[in-house]
């Protein structure tokens, strides 16, 4: 079909519109116009008269659901600004004039797939982050050197903090093996190089030891970028994101637990993906135990851990932690007991991971059952059940997508609900789900809808009870084994929980 033919068909559409009609299609001698009003605009699908109008209506409805995913408002200016994103999404729906068998979640996945330009951007950003971290380490070393000079001048050269040969400044900016997130726990090599590097002394100018050097791999991304430039690629240096812009949409729950001189934090996060007809597709738990010491006299300690979990969770200690001590006695301590833990720094000492296809691992099950009614809409029943009654889930929010421009009619609801008309979502909020309120349901009706309009569901929650049945039992001094008072903080939250 030529461009002139398409422009002619589009120009003829407004003339064929008639007021006072309820149907959403117009036919001519050669084509059929299937359309849907979007506030002041129209979503228009032009087909042949021989096509199946029911399939055309379903395709049109999917086109209409794609637009709010990329546009904040249904205005012409907003749609023009996001026109390329919409074209890419539309191209996943229709190929060579035929409808593809895809849903909204698959379209979003296909559009967001990896690209060469993204790799270039990521390489540039990683280079800038490494340079910034290197400067932060150098600055932290300089401040540590100044503090040591002041202490030496005032108290006869007594060292402070971690001391030579300890964890050093390896955790000063990256927080141990949890440098940016739990996903980066598998690459601790840069931190370990820094751990083995002794702290400099102010009064002595000793020759440097033969230790691993940081920064040896920082040029990898630079070399990659330079090679791209030599090949003719245009690489634009992007400034580092600010702290405000780098905060993720789903922030970690913040605890208000008072901290003692020895503070232990357990963090569990889970990724769950379940099919709408049942069947667990993805379950992945990742966790981290971090230690923070604020008093120098408690620098040399051991942590006794209680592990009552029988599900086969994989545990991994930090390379500087004594693995034999952990295997034999479930105690976390340094390989060299004479070395102290760093002060005033969150040090990741133990991480764990658990993956399974067993549906009984899901702590909260959601059953969404939309059924078509006689009025051309859907009656939707949603129920939840807490499967792991030892947990107490807080701030539970179940987000249900809705057709565009439709207001649901709520018949029954346990808890609270909120209709976000801008995002076309129904938010079901439950402050607490525990053993005493482990079940609940919600019923509502939506006109002009089909069952597929209410997926994917997104669920978020947090808990102060960990999913993994691990807990610090006591903290002991290395010297005499005496108990040390400590505080604990536990957080369990969803990284991503969806029903597709």
SS3 of the chain: the string is: CCHHHHHHHHHHHHHHCCCCCCCCEEECCCEEEEEEEECCEEEEEEEECCCCHHHHHHHHHHHHHHHHHHCCCCCHHHHHHCHHHHHHHHHHHEECCEECCCCHHHHHHHHCCCCHHHHHHHHHHHHHHHHHHHHHHHHHHHHHHHHHHHHHHHHCCCCCCCCCCCCCCCCCCCCCCCCCCHHHCCCCHHHHHHHCCCCCCCCCCCCCCCCCCCCCCCHHHHHHHHHHHHCCCCCCCCCCCCCCCCCCCCCCCCCCCCCCCEEEEEEEEEEEEECCCCCEEEEEEEEEEEEEECCHHHCCEEEEEEECCCCCCEEEECCCECHHHHHHHCEECECCCCCCCCECCCEEEEEEEEECCCHHHCCEEEEEEEEECCCCCEEEEEEEEECCCCCCEEEEEEEEECCCCCCCEEEEECCEEEEECCCCEEEEEEEEECHHHCEEEEEEEECCCCHHHHCCEEEEEEECCCCCCEEEEEEEECCCCCEECCEEEEEEEEEEEEEC
Q: What is the pLDDT of residue 62?
A: 87
Confidence band (pLDDT; 50, 70, 90) for 411? very high
Across the chain, what does the average pLDDT equal? 80
* 347 contacts 327 by C-beta, under 8 angstroms: no
* Cα pseudo-dihedral 54, 57, 59, 64, rounded to 10: -160
Summarize pLDDT for 295-347 with one digit per residue, the tens.
999 999 999 999 988 888 999 999 999 999 999 999 999 999 889 999 999 99
Is the bond leading into 306 cis (omega within 30 degrees of zero)? Answer: no
Confidence band (pLDDT; 50, 70, 90) for 215? very low
338-to-44, 113, 152, 167, 404 alpha-carbon distances in Å: 74, 50, 21, 11, 65
Compute the average pLDDT of residues 387-395. Answer: 94
Query: Domains plus CATH for the chain?
Result: 3-112 (3.30.450.60), 264-359+467-499 (2.60.40.1170), 364-463 (2.60.40.1170)
Q: What is the pLDDT of residue 224?
A: 60
Q: What is the pLDDT of residue 95?
A: 79
- Whole-model pTM: value is 0.54
Q: How many CB atoms lie within 10 A of CB 357?
A: 10
Compute the average pLDDT of residues 361-366. Answer: 95
Percentage of the chain modeled with pLDDT above 90: 41
Confidence band (pLDDT; 50, 70, 90) for 227? low
Confidence band (pLDDT; 50, 70, 90) for 422? confident
* Backbone dihedral region for residue 96 (phi beyond 0: left; psi -120 to 50: alpha; all else: beta): left
Compute the average pLDDT of residues 172-180. Answer: 41
Confidence band (pLDDT; 50, 70, 90) for 191? very low
- List the single range of 108-117, 229-238, 308-317, 342-351 with lowest mean pLDDT: 229-238
Confidence band (pLDDT; 50, 70, 90) for 169? very low
d(CA 375, CA 438): 34
Summarize pLDDT for 41-96 with one digit per residue, the tens.
888 888 888 888 888 888 888 888 888 888 878 888 888 888 888 888 888 888 77
């Amino acid at each position: 079909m030529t461009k002139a033919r398409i422009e002619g068909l589009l120009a003829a559409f407004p003339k064929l519109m008639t007021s006072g009609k309820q149907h959403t299609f117009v036919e001519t001698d050669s084509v059929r116009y299937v359309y849907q009003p979007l506030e002041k605009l129209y979503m228009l699908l032009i087909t042949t008269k021989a096509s199946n109008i029911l399939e055309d209506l379903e395709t049109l409805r999917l086109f209409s659901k794609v637009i709010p995913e990329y546009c904040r408002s249904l205005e012409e200016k907003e749609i023009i600004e996001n026109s390329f994103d919409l074209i890419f999404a539309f191209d996943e729906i229709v190929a060579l004039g035929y409808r593809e068998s895809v849903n909204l979640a698959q379209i979003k996945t296909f559009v967001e797939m990896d690209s060469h330009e993204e790799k270039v951007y990521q390489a540039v950003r990683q280079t800038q982050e490494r340079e910034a971290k290197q400067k932060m380490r150098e600055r932290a070393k300089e401040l540590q050197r100044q503090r040591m000079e002041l202490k030496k001048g005032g108290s006869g050269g007594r060292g402070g903090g971690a001391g030579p040969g300890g964890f050093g400044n390896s955790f000063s900016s990256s927080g141990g093996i949890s440098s940016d997130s739990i996903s980066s726990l598998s690459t601790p090599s840069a931190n370990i190089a820094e751990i083995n590097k002794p702290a400099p002394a102010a009064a002595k100018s000793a020759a440097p030891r033969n230790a691993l050097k940081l920064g040896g791999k920082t040029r990898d991304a630079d070399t990659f970028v330079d090679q791209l430039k030599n090949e003719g690629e245009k690489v634009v240096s992007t400034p580092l994101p600010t702290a405000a812009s780098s905060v993720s949409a789903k922030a970690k729950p913040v605890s208000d637990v008072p901290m003692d001189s020895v503070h232990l934090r357990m963090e569990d996060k889970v990724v769950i993906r379940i099919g709408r007809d049942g069947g667990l597709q993805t379950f992945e738990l990742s966790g981290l135990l971090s230690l923070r010491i604020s008093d120098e006299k408690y620098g040399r300690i051991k942590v006794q851990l209680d592990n009552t979990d029988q599900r086969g969770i994989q545990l991994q200690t930090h390379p500087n932690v004594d693995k034999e001590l952990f295997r034999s006695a479930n105690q976390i301590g340094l390989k060299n007991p004479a070395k102290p833990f760093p002060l005033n720094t969150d040090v990741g000492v133990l991480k764990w991971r658990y993956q399974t296809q067993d549906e009984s691992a899901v702590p909260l099950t959601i059953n969404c059952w939309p059924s078509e009614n006689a009025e051309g809409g859907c009656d939707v029943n949603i129920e939840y059940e807490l499967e792991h009654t030892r947990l107490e889930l807080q701030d539970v929010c179940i987000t249900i997508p809705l057709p565009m421009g439709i207001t649901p009619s709520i018949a029954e609801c346990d808890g609270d609900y909120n209709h976000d008309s801008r995002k076309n979502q129904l938010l079901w909020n439950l402050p607490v789900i525990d053993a005493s309120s482990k079940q609940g349901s919600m019923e509502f009706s939506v006109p002009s809808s089909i069952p597929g309009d209410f997926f994917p569901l997104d669920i978020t929650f947090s808990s102060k009870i960990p999913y993994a049945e691990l807990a610090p039992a006591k903290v002991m001094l290395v010297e005499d084994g005496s108990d040390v008072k400590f505080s604990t903080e536990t957080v369990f939250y969803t990284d991503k929980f969806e029903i597709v």
